[in-house]
Amino acid sequence: MFFAKDGLERRAKSWQDAILRSQAVIEFSPDGHIVWANENFLKVMAYTLDEIVGKHHRMFVDPTYALSADYAQFWRDLLDGQFHSREFQRFAKGGREVWLQASYNPVLDKRGKVVGVTKFATDVTTQTLCAADFQGQVDAISKVQAVIEFELDGTIIKANENFLRVTGYRLDEIVGRHHRMFVEPAYAGTREYGEFWEKLRAGQSVSSEFKRIGKGGREVWINASYNPVFCPLGRLTKIIKYADDITERVSAERIIGRLQQSLAQMAEGDLTGRIDDHFTGQHEELRQSFNLSLERVAEIIRGLRTTSATLKTATGEILSGANDLSERTTKQAATIEETSATMEQLASTVTENAKRAEAASQKARAVSSAATEGGEVMHRANDAMERITASSGKISNIIGMIDDIAFQTNLLALNASVEAARAGDAGKGFAVVAVEVRRLAQSAAGASGEVKALIEQSSGEVGAGTRLVAEAAGKLQSMLETVQENADLVSGIAVASRQQAASIEEVFTAVRQMDQMTQHNAALVEQTNAAIEQTETQASELDRVIGVFTLSNSTTAEATRRTGSPARATQARAVQPQARSFPSRGNAALEAEWAEF
């Protein structure tokens, strides 16, 4: 019995030595004061025994924790005989953090009273910090990535919130179900899907982009890695998947691909590249905006086609009208040029006529003046003839007196002869004188008779001349009045001719201006023709450019519905009135063309 007890004590001592060699051991009084510690503990905490003996356990814990109710409860539990075993955070000398895998063991006496507390500890600081770091990484991954765990047969074990949010499920809706719930049924029955799980069960990880199906059949794209998890013995225990939701990126790539394809078609003139695939979020808005823009461009192209056709037709009609206008303007210019030449000749003729009329007026005024002077001369001649007639009467009276004197002288000579005869010889000489006197008296009487006859004849002639002069004066007065009237008429003709010449000059100036304007208009018409021909060429080029574009049947039908059929538009254009033609010969043509112009 003694040897058995002695052997048990030796074994206990061996166990104690083994524990002291491998573990950190420290003893406390029931109230927590340090009684003793082995070298392992001192080494872990970097203290010497003298530095810790007699001090309270709280020197190894955080000061805040040392004042907490949990710490007080911890020691009350130990005093009640309850042990504590777990990882503890403690602080070594200098405040260095230490993690211990430890057990606090109350030591009881025979009566079951706690007489001390012994702590056995292992320094797990490195492992704990590594585990914490690993767990931190796992937690960080779980925060940003979708994580799900599977059994080796694909049964779902658990999943984090990110994964549930991506797929739209609750945790209770997926736990215990197979992975195939996330794939399309057709793919779940394929050989490829079976090989996928065989590869994972063989310990091979799989990383790629996967198409998965969320709740309600929603398409989800993930960038995921399926990772086999091994136990410390190397045995495969489960499959864990880390995934990033790339649905938006894949949608973006798909819509960008569709946009690139549609834009490439658009670059080739094909406007039928509408995107009918549905997307989510901003990509759906982008798809709708692109389709709306494409429809708008197609609508613009249809409008341009219609406008181009209308423009081409209109430019053709305008060109036809402009050519007709050019031809008529050219004819009008020629007619106006001829009219200008005629008006110039007419102006020259009228000016010459005005000059001649002015000369005739001057001559008429000269003739009128001469006639007036002649009338005055005739009046003076008539007065002179009247005075001659009066003088002839006086001369006739004087001749009569002379004749009476001659008769008396003859009588006196006769009486003298008688007296001389009576006187005889004394009177002979006186008789001779008396005879001579009688002879002279007879001669004077004869001469006076002749003179009287001549005077009387002259008086008759003068009377006749006076009558003729009076008649001539009357005729001359009538002629003077006629000449005056003619002079007035010629003066009026001269004034009218001058006015006519001035008016014709104004008309000629207006015709010259009209000719210049017509020539300018003809040049403008030529420029307009050139511009219209260029416009028609550009319209044809626009037709060619627009013809490159291809529109869908629906958009073409819509364009036809809005704009009407091309045949109807052509018929509508066909009933438009044609440009009228105008005569181009004579003044009537000139007036008509000018009015139309």
Give CA–CA dist 340/343, Å, rounded. 5
Specify burial of residue 185 (Cβ count, 10 A radius: 0-12, 13-18, 19+): exposed
Asked if the model's pLDDT at residue 402 lies above 70, the reply is: yes
547 versus 586: the higher-pLDDT residue is 547
- The single-letter code of the amino acid at 210 is F
Question: Crossing angle, helix 281-423 and helix 586-596, to 10 degrees?
Answer: 140
Give the pLDDT confidence score for residue 192 in this predicted structure: 95
Give the pLDDT confidence score for residue 83 in this predicted structure: 93
> How many other C-beta atoms can be found within 10 angstroms of the C-beta atom of residue 543?
15
Give the pLDDT confidence score for residue 6 in this predicted structure: 64
548 versus 237: the higher-pLDDT residue is 237
- The single-letter code of the amino acid at 241 is K
Reported confidence tier of residue 101, pLDDT bands at 50, 70, 90:
very high
Token pair 């790539």 is at which residue? 253
Strands (E), 124-235: 146-150, 156-159, 206-213, 219-230
pLDDT for 462-493, tens place per residue? 777 777 777 777 777 777 777 777 777 777 77
pLDDT for 226-246, tens place per residue? 999 998 888 999 999 999 999
Kindly compute the dihedral angle of the four CA atoms of residues 60, 66, 72, 74, in this order, to the nearest 10 degrees: -40
pLDDT for 355-392, tens place per residue? 777 777 777 777 777 777 777 777 777 777 777 777 77
> How many other C-beta atoms can be found within 10 angstroms of the C-beta atom of residue 330?
16
Percent of the chain with pLDDT over 90: 32
Q: Contact, 200 vs 193, CB < 8 A?
A: no
Specify burial of residue 2 (Cβ count, 10 A radius: 0-12, 13-18, 19+): exposed
6 versus 182: the higher-pLDDT residue is 182
Handedness of CA 581, 587, 592, 593 (dihedral sign): positive
- What's the half-sphere exposure (Cβ side, CA atoms, 13 Å) at 134? 6
Percent of the chain with pLDDT over 70: 89
205 versus 323: the higher-pLDDT residue is 205
68-72, 448-452, 569-573: lowest mean pLDDT where? 569-573
Give the pLDDT confidence score for residue 181 in this predicted structure: 96
SS3 256: helix
Give the pLDDT confidence score for residue 578 in this predicted structure: 41
Give the pLDDT confidence score for residue 567 in this predicted structure: 39
HEC readout, 459-521: HHHHHHHHHHHHHHHHHHHHHHHHHHHHHHHHHHHHHHHHHHHHHHHHHHHHHHHHHHHHHHH
Q: Contact, 71 vs 65, CB < 8 A?
A: yes
- Strand duo 219-230 + 206-213: pairing: antiparallel
Asked if the model's pLDDT at residue 564 lies above 70, the reply is: no
Question: Crossing angle, helix 281-423 and helix 247-267, to 10 degrees?
Answer: 30
In 550-559, which positions are buried (b, 16+ CB within 10 angstroms) versus exposed (e)? bbbeebeebb
Contacts of 359 (CB under 8 A, 6+ apart): none
Reported confidence tier of residue 70, pLDDT bands at 50, 70, 90:
very high
Q: What is the mean pLDDT of the chain?
A: 80
Q: What is the mean pLDDT of residues 592-597?
A: 46
In 36-52, which positions are buried (b, 16+ CB within 10 angstroms) versus exposed (e)? ebbebbbebbebeeeeb
pLDDT for 102-136, tens place per residue? 999 999 998 989 999 999 999 998 888 887 777 77
Closest CA to 246 of 181, 166, 323, 186: 166
Give CA–CA dist 477/240, Å, rounded. 152
425 versus 160: the higher-pLDDT residue is 160
Reported confidence tier of residue 280, pLDDT bands at 50, 70, 90:
low
Threshold 0.95, pTM exceeds: no
Q: Contact, 298 vs 291, CB < 8 A?
A: no
Strand partners, 178: 155
Q: What is the mean pLDDT of residues 521-539?
A: 79
Give the pLDDT confidence score for residue 593 in this predicted structure: 46
